[in-house]
Amino acid sequence: MIVLLVALAASVATFIGGSFALRFRDKLHLILGFSAGAVAGVALFDLLPEAIDLGTKYHKAGTIAFFIACGFFGYLILDRLILLHTHEEDDTQTSVSRGSFSALALSTHSFLDGVALGVGFQASVALGVIITIAILTHDFSDGINTVNLVLKNGGHRKKALRWLLIDASAPVLGAASTLFFRIPESVLGLVIAVFVGTFLYLSASDLIPESHHRHPRALTTIMTLFGAGLLYLVVHLV
Of the pLDDT bands very low, low, confident and very high (cuts 50, 70, 90), residue 85 is very low
53: number of Cβ within 10 Å: 13
pLDDT of residue 67: 96
Of the pLDDT bands very low, low, confident and very high (cuts 50, 70, 90), residue 58 is very high
Separation CA 206–CA 36 (nearest Å): 8
Q: For the ranges 63-67, 81-85, 158-162, which has the lowest average pLDDT?
A: 81-85
Of the pLDDT bands very low, low, confident and very high (cuts 50, 70, 90), residue 62 is very high
- As a whole number, mean pLDDT of residues 141-157 equals 73
3-state secondary structure of 145: helix
Please say if the pLDDT value at position 214 is more than 60: no
CA–CA–CA angle 43, 13, 237 (5° rounding): 55
Q: For the ranges 46-50, 59-63, 82-86, 136-140, which has the lowest average pLDDT?
A: 82-86
Q: Is 214 left (phi over 0), alpha (psi -120 to 50) or beta?
A: left
Please say if the pLDDT value at position 86 is more than 80: no
CA 148, distance to chain mean position in Å, is 12
pLDDT of residue 95: 58
pLDDT of residue 69: 96
CA–CA–CA angle 41, 42, 47 (5° rounding): 125
- As a whole number, mean pLDDT of residues 222-227 equals 89
DSSP H helical segments within the chain, as ranges?
2-23, 28-41, 48-55, 61-77, 92-123, 125-152, 157-177, 185-201, 208-211, 217-237
3-state secondary structure of 85: coil
Separation CA 126–CA 129 (nearest Å): 5
pLDDT of residue 177: 86
Of the pLDDT bands very low, low, confident and very high (cuts 50, 70, 90), residue 68 is very high
Q: Provide Rg for the chain, Cα atoms.
A: 17
Going 181 to 185 to 187 to 189, the CA torsion angle's sign is positive
Please say if the pLDDT value at position 90 is more than 50: no
- The more confident residue out of 2 and 62 is 62
Separation CA 138–CA 53 (nearest Å): 19
Please say if the pLDDT value at position 23 is more than 80: no
Q: What is the DSSP string of 89-126?
A: TT-HHHHHHHHHHHHHHHHHHHHHHHHHHHHHHHH-HH
Instruction: Provide the mean pLDDT of the chain.
Output: 77
Please say if the pLDDT value at position 133 is more than 80: no
**CA distances in angstroms from 229 to 30, 52, 184, 222, 223, listed in the order given:** 15, 21, 32, 10, 10
pLDDT of residue 87: 47
